[in-house]
Structure 1
Amino acid sequence: MNKIQKKIWMLAMVVLVFMSVIWIALTYYNHKTQSQYNEILQRYLSFNEVTIASQQLVTDLNNYLLLPSPANLERISHSKEKIRNAKYDVYKLKNDQNDFALTNYMNLMDSLIETADRALLFQSEKETEDSAQEFSEATRISMYISETSLTLLDKELKTYELMYRGIIGQSKELNKLGVWLLLLITSLSLLLTYWISLSITRPVEKLTKAANDLSNGRFDLQIKVESNDEIAFLAKTFDHMRVNINNLISEIQEKAQLERELQQNKLLLQESQLLSLQSQINPHFLFNTLNTLSKKAYLEGSEETSNMIVNVAGLLRYSLKRLDRPVMLNEEVAVLKQYIDIQKARFTERLQLHMEVDESCLGVQIPGLTLQPIIENAVIHAVEPEEDGGVIWFRITDEGESVRIEIEDDGPGMTEEKIKQILEGQQIDQSGGHSTGIGLSNVMKRLRLFYENEDVLEIHSEIGNGTKVVLKIPRTRRIEEHDKTPDRG
């Protein structure tokens, strides 16, 4: 993760922390307030449940006295059970302020149940008058329970009036706190955003101004950007480019006179001499010239340039061989390394190659110039178009009777239709205007002819997920005559 990304993530994390703290605080307060409301409501519901249960018991008792039946008797038992449960709930509401009142309240419930039991007993003994008296007593106790419930509810309202007001006050204060917190977070976020944007935009503005100066030919102005992120590195690279261009212009001016003299000398050449010279420029001549340039560069101290010319010469010499002649896999890997060295000089850090090679597999035969076109295709698609470059993985693994070669990149991938066209041998512009030399389709055709096997090459790719080309190289070939093809390079 680069430093600019860290700044943006820091802003996001700060805002996230602020919002999390506020959310936790509000959640805690809401839970606390809800618990207080639930506690008060439960007290009211408990008293109301006692009133309802006592009235229901009197009603069920009256129904039984009018029409004794097992069903009505069962209803009375159910009502008595409700009163006992309500009594248990009321018992949990006891405190120092209501201990005496709640004790009398619960005694009334016990008296109601006992009175109902006596009325049932007299009814079973056919003592109708005594049963009616007990029913009247039960009715009176039920009414007294209802009045007592109202009295207790009134006391509860007075007791918790201050709590209500406190909750309302806390809600108002919380609203004010929420507004202030919102303003504070907004202000801090704006300040932090302004600071981070300045740390990014100011260096970019300086770099833009320097680019305009360069476009106007001002190569003498130093490019200096003070920043602690990647823009400072970009400015240093930009300034280094400015110095190189300025030096190049100076060299061009110093050699201008010499160039003019050379041009005059070239004009003196006759057309026949020029054609004769051109006819001698063939691949072998270019190869010898590159070797000469390599030695000259080495003698002059330009070892990096010398190494690059050696790599180009090696590739040129290797390409002079017939494409259908067999070579060892280790030769292909060596040429592949030369090609990657040339491309790394071009793309520097933008090109990353990871190689995993099983040395025991390098003795198998493979058609010449097979791997380099595939790697070139990966460089064109996965590295060249991307600003940050790309990654290529090259693997050689042993699979018993065959050798598996994988060339994978993290580029944009390709569609199933394009993969099908390649596997069917159709020539496709794989690079959108680049020339890949032999091309992936031709590589596939040569491999199929060389091994007489249609499944020697596979392509796995999805749009946005890169491409993997897999070669399955047999350790023994079906047609050995290819191995006897002489080298005409």
Structure 2
Amino acid sequence: MTTTTIQKKIWMLVTMMLLIMGIIWLTLTHYNQKTQEQSNTILQRYLRMNEVTTASQQIITHLNNYLVNPTDQHQQKIEKSIVILEEVQQDVAELRNAENTFSVTNYIHLIDSLIETTNRSILFSEEREVEGATNQFNEANRISLYISEMTLTILDRELKSSNRFYRDIIQQSEELKKLGIWLLLLMTAVLLLATYWFSLSITRPIHRLTKAANELSKGRFTQQIEVKSNDEIAFLAKTFDKMRININDLIVEIQQKALLEHELQQSKLLLKESQFKSLQSQINPHFLFNTLNTLSKKAYLDGAEETSDLIVSVAGLLRYNLKRIDRSVTLFEEVVVLNQYMDIQKARFRDRLQFKMDIDESCLQVKIPGLTLQPIIENAVIHAIEPEENGGTIWFTIKRDVAGVIIEIEDSGQGMTQEKTEQLLLGNVVPTEGHSTGIGFQNVVKRLYLFYGQENIVTIDSREGRGTRVVIQIPTVREENDDETSYSG
């Protein structure tokens, strides 16, 4: 759509008014010119006929003077008057029309007769024929009187025939005056309408912008600003609407940030509360750990070495469990605490539990999240050994592979379905009560994923009636990093 500026609208209004005034002026000018031409034609006819009368009388006067005193000067005046009369005669001939053809023709003949008679009188005077010259002078005087009378007759007839024309001119002048008044009123009405339309095209969008500004001042940023115009005000409205959208988006963003900050503040409060509760929960385990150390020393002094060793294993396991689980440890540390845990379970199950290890000692310095192996072994003890009357066997293997280090934990239990295996890896299984560490298998899988930054770290191979094997694949890249590492579990 073509944009029309306010300046163009003003020029359109001025052009329209000038065009109307120009048309009116041209019409009136044409009418006046036509009337003036008609009036000039009639007036010219009157003047020419009056000149004929004057010229004929001058010829008679100059002829009389010549006959009395025939000098060259008087003759030249006669000739000059004859030239003027002939010129006027030609002009009178052009005034002939359908109404006055006969009168003008006779009038012209009289002029010719006057000129011929004057010339004969001069000729007789030169030949010294006084009587002939006098007779021709009298004839010329009589013709001059006829010309004067005929001039009056023709003029009277022309005045009568032009009377209606003059009356029409007067009537047309009155009508022209009325037409001028009506045109003035019409131009005023058109100008008022055009001015009203022009002012509306400017004030109406401005009123809408003012209303929109009032809405924005009240905090209502959802109402769309729409101005139906095709000038600079429409561009201003679009810019104003974009500003409204930007402000609204900014307010929404600020509200979202405020909400996030509020949620973050709440999370910090919850974290502090959980840390406080965690600190409280560690008081009793520390007391229990100190008590176990005391009992271990007393059992050793009393000669119960096996009981003392068992208490030492429980204390070591408790000490390890009190460490932060968000720090990495070596496989060596995990294997040590795993042996302590298995000593406790062997004391519990006796010959029902068989634990076999095959460890590549070159892999024991590999970093791994704390409390990774014990929850998996504990899960095997609870679900594969404890339910069986004759117990079972757990195989624990650490070996090196091209892709890194592989840890395998296999049991001789009843296994599980494929659906349960998938649920266990996805964390959709409700944790089993009775775990000593309080850390479930799903938690171990999640921490391994976070620690190594990739999935498929843990795989489970299990069939019903054939046992379960858990495989942990430690990537080579992570294996080569021997620095102490912290992570969020």
Pair member with larger Rg: 2
